């Protein structure tokens, strides 16, 4: 395995430097142990380890979203089992360079939003700063306490042809990837524990702890117990997994823009208990989207008035708004001289060679060498992407030059760096792939310095000779190992963490609403699956010479299915009853058909994804299994037999989620809201099944079949037989499914469960014995307890319909609607969107 890699390196004229071996095929000393290990285990064992690494990440729900890709939501995170490796000696130089660069950029940031002496003295051109979309004039003279304004910094590094590490990009606005870095290391540690131990790979955990302590030290309000929220753009963001993971791992509250509001100058978190003051916001929302009042007025991701709260020093935002100006690639051309001016030092880590077109001489150079350069807009947030001059035709080059002449200060030309390759596990063998390393630096406010993570997130290209390594273009992640025993624990973490776990108990209203609907869609999916299975069984058993609309059992099942799923007109029209297969297949597979089984399960998964920070890893394994089953179910969309098999598998996995819900979740508002949603949906579906299946009397054999199917849909057939030991009778079926308070599937039991969960929630009016939602439940429970079960079993002589039963069930359904409305008004009324009892809002595919 290693030998073939070295042969390719020596004899195929590989054009790039390699991290593991020299051009002569000699392995670098810090790679020797790994090379020996790979040679010993062989390709077959290595492939097994590769699969195990992938399984670890899938089971932990590690995903990445790709914008514009129909299969992008919840795409599995890909990790190469071969790490990026740095020796302790080389890392010492990289670490010094990162610390120097962070200190330098911190000074530049402080000056640009302060005295602006660098602009006044000509070290930075005025046009370079004021034409950059990341320079926010509203942030002028707004400072954090102390000298450190840049709290988190990240940079993309690559080894150039000269063997030195070069900085390709600076990331200062909302640097991402540290959560994926931790998950990568966790997966590698589980699969290669001995290899990590023998190579003395340095730990990365101190980075996260330093960040926690820094937040606590920087906070001006509530220093002993600050409330910290992580502001995320939402579940469709490319790195939403990381937002949920970091918030859960570090004990922060995950929040979206709709969860926050500004009042009296303070930022408040909307919770089911009311408004809770926020002290620190760790933002993963780009700066210009953070406050639609002062920046982009079309943003729905931020908080109206946030900037004013920052000005009044009533909330701390990390990184501070306006940091994105440091990501300006044009700044790289001036950093060497600025470093000499501010630090009296040469840059340890040079930037990739950059020419800013706002200067005539530099623009002339760019035009003369445009076919060998990368042309970038100075603001990464624009629609204009980087252009490789060598890929353009003459006409396209002329058009690009005209654009540059029109506004030269908006463009830079950069050298195309042919960065080094590293061993990667591709197609069951080691192959050389170009790789980039992303570093992470955090302010250590206690020691008034910065701390570099001893490792980071590396990414390699999936294709040979390609330099596109971003996750959006299919790049493969790699764990980054710094070898040698280093100072993993520093004085920066000697103090106990000040952020108390109690702040995690706060439940945002938006999260509460999603949990509520997670429970609703769980029950809706389970009832729909069970009813569809009953329907398909009956359909497969019916005689071919009997018209379906003349079969009372099957036609009743089909019509009940339409009513319960809310897919009218469906089987309520005769033409669909005559040829039901197309409608049945659509009800199973069509995720775009509102109310279908696929739609309900998709909505269940989407709600789960949006509250993933509240769910356990075991729960995510079940959810991942449900998602895979849904994918298989949607692909087998032409055969009712295959559909039945998929439904059979699906109901087992939904029941597994039931079990984890009971066994794993702590009895907090999280659990209670989920179960309130569950039992409201269960009670409503129970009513609809009873009303649809038992609303009319047919011949005795048909009545018996319908009662049996009704019991099966409610998982109560065995209970009935054990309790009554007799033939199916209407009186016994209704008693068991409506009145028996010890039957978990009975209507009264479900209503009592809703009430018991409601009693535990905050904001119950202590002045009154019952809140409005509980009064509606009490009314429903009382109607059931006072009903005459005997009269419910007597059909109308003329129509043979059970009018009293239908009237009672309609009343209960109406009261459940009202109960749900009151719950919304009390706990969720301020959230932006609201779901209906049957349809959900537009749900993106997973």
Residue range 819-842: mean pLDDT, rounded: 61
In the predicted model, is pLDDT for residue 763 greater than 70?
no
Task: State whether residue 478 is helix, strand or coil.
Answer: strand
Helix axes 597-610, 509-541, angle to 10 degrees: 160
The pLDDT assigned to 503 comes to 45
Give the pLDDT band (50/70/90) at residue 765: low
pLDDT at residue 12 tops 80: no
pLDDT confidence band for 317 (50 / 70 / 90): very high
Burial of 193 (0-12, 13-18, 19+ CB in 10 A): exposed
Which residue do the tokens 């729905």 mark? 300
Q: What is the mean pLDDT of residues 489-496?
A: 42
| Range list of H helices, 18-125 | 32-59, 88-112, 117-120
* CA dist., res. 198 & res. 484, Å (int): 10
Q: Is the sign of the CA dihedral 383, 387, 391, 393 positive or negative?
A: positive
Measured on CA atoms in the order 566, 572, 574, 578, is the torsion positive or negative? Answer: positive
Distances in whole angstroms, Cα of residue 266 to Cα of each of 271, 277, 295, 506, 827: 15, 7, 19, 17, 21
Helix, strand, coil % (nearest 5) of the chain?
Answer: 50, 15, 35
Residue 837: pLDDT over 60: no
pLDDT of residue 217: 84
CA distance 519 to 604: 8
Residue 499: the pLDDT is 42
CB atoms within 10 A of CB 37: 16
Contacts of 64 (CB under 8 A, 6+ apart): 75, 76, 77, 180, 238, 239, 241, 471
Sequence-ordered strand ranges (E) for 335-475: 354-356, 373-377, 387-388, 411-415, 421-426, 429-444, 449-452, 457-460
Judged against a pLDDT cut of 80, whether residue 14 lies above it is answered with: no
- The pLDDT, as a whole number, for residue 486 is 63
Asked if 806 and 697 touch (Cβ cutoff 8 Å), the reply is no
Q: What percent of the chain has pLDDT over 90?
A: 61
* Res 504 pLDDT > 50: no
Per-residue model confidence (pLDDT) at position 263: 92
pLDDT of residue 833: 43
Residue 602: pLDDT band (50, 70, 90) is very high
- Residue predicted with more confidence, 532 or 669: 532
Segment (H or E) for 167: strand 165-171
| E strand map for 294-428 | 316-318, 354-356, 373-377, 387-388, 411-415, 421-426
Q: Which of 14-23, 123-132, 836-845 has the lowest mean pLDDT?
A: 836-845
What's residue 469's pLDDT?
Answer: 60
User: What average pLDDT score do residues 334-355 get?
Assistant: 95
Q: How far apart are CA 446 and CA 148, in angstroms?
A: 11
Quick check: 715 pLDDT over 80? yes
Mean pLDDT, residues 812-828 taken together? 92
Question: Quick check: 438 and 458 in contact, CB under 8 A?
Answer: yes
pTM, whole model, 2 decimals?
0.84
Q: Which residue has the higher pLDDT, 211 or 725?
A: 211
For 353-415, the fitting CATH number among 3.90.1150.10, 3.40.50.12780, 3.30.1490.270, 3.50.50.60 is 3.30.1490.270
When mean pLDDT is compared across 3-7, 341-345, 469-473, the lowest value belongs to: 469-473
Q: What ranges do the domains of the chain cover?
A: 79-329+418-505, 353-415, 509-664, 667-838
Distance CA 704, CA 296 (A): 64
> Read out DSSP for 575-623?
HHHHS-HHHHHHHHH-TTSTTSHHHHHHHHHHHHHHTGGGS-HHHHHHH
Confidence of residue 74 (pLDDT cuts 50, 70, 90): low
Q: What pLDDT is stored for residue 485 in this prediction?
A: 73
What rounded mean pLDDT belongs to the chain? 87
- Helix (H) / strand (E) containing 63: strand 63-64
Quick: pLDDT tens for 185-244.
999 999 999 999 999 999 999 999 999 889 888 877 776 778 899 999 988 888 888 898
Q: Which helix (H) or strand (E) holds 270?
A: strand 266-271
Q: What is the pLDDT at residue 683?
A: 97
Give the range among 149-158, 684-693, 719-728 with minimum mean pLDDT: 719-728
pLDDT at 813 over 90: yes
Bridge partner list, 282:
230, 318
- Backbone dihedral angles phi then psi of residue 277, each to the nearest 5 degrees: -70, 140
Quote the radius of gyration of the chain (alpha carbons, Å).
31
Share of the chain above pLDDT 70, in %: 89
How would residue 635 be classed by pLDDT, with cut points 50, 70 and 90?
Answer: confident
Give 208 or 475, the one with higher predicted confidence: 208
Q: Is 25 exposed, middle or buried (0-12, 13-18, 19+ CB in 10 A)?
A: middle
Q: How many CA atoms lie within 13 A of 125 on its CB side?
A: 18
Report the pLDDT value the prediction gives residue 632, as an integer from 0 to 100.
85
Calculate mean pLDDT across residues 461-472: 67
Q: Pick the residue with more confidence: 27 or 638? A: 27
């Amino acid at each position: 395995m290693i030998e073939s890699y070295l042969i390719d390196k020596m004899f195929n004229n590989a054009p790039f430097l390699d991290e593991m071996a020299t051009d002569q095929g000699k392995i670098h000393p810090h790679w020797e142990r790994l090379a020996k290990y790979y040679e010993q285990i062989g390709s077959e064992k290595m492939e097994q380890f590769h699969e195990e690494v992938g399984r670890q990440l899938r089971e932990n729900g590690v995903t990445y979203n790709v914008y514009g890709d129909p299969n992008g939501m919840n795409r599995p995170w890909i990790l190469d089992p071969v790490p990026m490796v740095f020796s302790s000696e080389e890392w010492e130089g990289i670490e010094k360079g990162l610390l120097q660069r962070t200190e330098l950029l911190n000074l530049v940031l402080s000056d640009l939003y302060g005295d602006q002496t660098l602009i006044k003295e000509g070290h930075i051109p005025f046009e370079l700063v004021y034409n950059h979309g990341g320079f926010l004039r509203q942030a002028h003279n707004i400072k954090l306490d102390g000298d450190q304004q840049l709290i988190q910094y990240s940079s993309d590094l690559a080894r150039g042809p000269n063997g030195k590490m070069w900085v390709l990009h600076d990331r200062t606005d909302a640097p991402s990837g540290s959560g994926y870095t931790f998950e990568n290391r966790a997966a590698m540690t589980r699969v290669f524990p001995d290899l990590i131990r023998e190579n003395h790979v340095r730990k990365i955990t101190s980075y996260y702890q330093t960040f926690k302590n820094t937040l606590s030290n920087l906070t001006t309000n509530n220093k002993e117990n600050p409330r910290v929220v992580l502001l995320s753009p939402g579940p469709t963001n490319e790195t939403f997994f990381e937002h949920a993971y970091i918030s859960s791992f570090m004990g922060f509250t995950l929040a979206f823009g709709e969860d926050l509001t500004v009042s009296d100058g303070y930022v408040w978190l909307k919770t089911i208990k009311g408004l809770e003051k926020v002290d620190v916001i760790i933002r993963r929302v780009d700066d210009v989207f953070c406050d639609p009042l002062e920046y982009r007025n079309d943003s729905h991701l931020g908080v109206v008035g946030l900037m004013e709260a920052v000005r009044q020093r009533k909330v701390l935002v990390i990184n501070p708004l306006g940091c994105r100006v440091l990501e300006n690639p044009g700044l790289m051309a001036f950093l060497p001289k600025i470093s000499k001016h501010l630090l009296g030092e040469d840059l340890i880590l040079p930037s990739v060679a950059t020419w800013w077109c706002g200067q005539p001489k530099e623009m002339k150079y760019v035009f003369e060498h445009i076919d060998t350069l990368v042309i970038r807009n100075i603001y990464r947030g624009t629609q204009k992407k980087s252009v490789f001059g060598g890929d353009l035709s003459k006409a396209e080059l002329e058009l690009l030059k005209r654009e540059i002449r029109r506004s030269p200060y908006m463009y830079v030309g950069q050298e195309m760096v042919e960065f080094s390759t590293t061993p990667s596990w591709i197609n069951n063998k080691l192959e050389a792939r170009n790789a980039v390393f992303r570093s992470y630096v955090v302010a250590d406010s206690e020691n008034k310095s910065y701390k570099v993570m001893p490792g980071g997130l590396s990414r390699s290209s999936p294709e040979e000779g390609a330099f596109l390594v971003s996750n959006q273009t299919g790049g493969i992640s790699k764990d980054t190992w710094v070898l040698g025993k280093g100072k993993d624990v520093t004085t920066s973490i000697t103090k106990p963490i000040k952020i108390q776990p109690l702040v995690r108990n706060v439940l945002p209203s938006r999260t509460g609403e999603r949990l509520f609907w997670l429970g609703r869609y769980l029950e809706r999916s389970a009832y729909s699956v069970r009813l569809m299975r009953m329907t398909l069984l009956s359909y497969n058993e019916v005689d071919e010479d009997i018209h379906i609309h003349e079969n009372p059992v099957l036609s009743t099942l089909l019509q009940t299915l339409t009513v319960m799923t809310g897919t009218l007109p469906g089987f309520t029209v005769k033409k669909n009853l005559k040829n039901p297969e197309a409608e049945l297949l659509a009800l199973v597979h069509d995720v775009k058909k509102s109310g279908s089984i696929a739609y309900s399960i998709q909505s269940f998964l989407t709600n789960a994804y949006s509250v993933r920070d509240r769910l356990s890893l075991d729960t995510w394994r079940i959810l991942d299994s449900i998602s895979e089953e849904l994918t298989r179910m949607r692909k087998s969309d032409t055969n009712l037999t295959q559909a039945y098999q998929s439904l059979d598998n699906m109901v087992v996995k939904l029941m597994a989620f039931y079990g984890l819900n009971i066994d794993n979740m702590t009895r907090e508002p999280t659990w209670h809201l989920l179960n309130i949603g569950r039992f409201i949906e269960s009670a409503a579906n129970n009513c609809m099944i009873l009303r649809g299946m038992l609303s009319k009397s047919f011949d005795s054999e048909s009545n018996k079949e319908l009662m049996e199917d009704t019991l099966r849909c409610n998982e109560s057939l065995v209970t009935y037989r054990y309790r009554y030991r007799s033939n199916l009778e209407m009186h016994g079926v209704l008693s068991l499914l409506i009145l028996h308070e010890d039957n978990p599937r009975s209507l009264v039991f479900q209503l009592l469960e809703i009430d018991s969960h409601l009693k535990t929630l905050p904001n119950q009016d202590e002045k009154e014995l019952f809140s409005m939602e509980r009064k509606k439940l009490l009314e429903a429970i009382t109607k059931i307890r006072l009903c005459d079960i005997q009269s419910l079993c007597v059909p109308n002589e003329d129509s043979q319909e059970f009018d009293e039963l239908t009237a009672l069930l309609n009343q209960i359904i109406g009261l459940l609607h009202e109960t749900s409305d009151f719950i919304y008004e009390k706990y969720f009324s301020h959230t932006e969107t609201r779901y209906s009892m049957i349809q959900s809002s537009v749900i993106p595919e997973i």
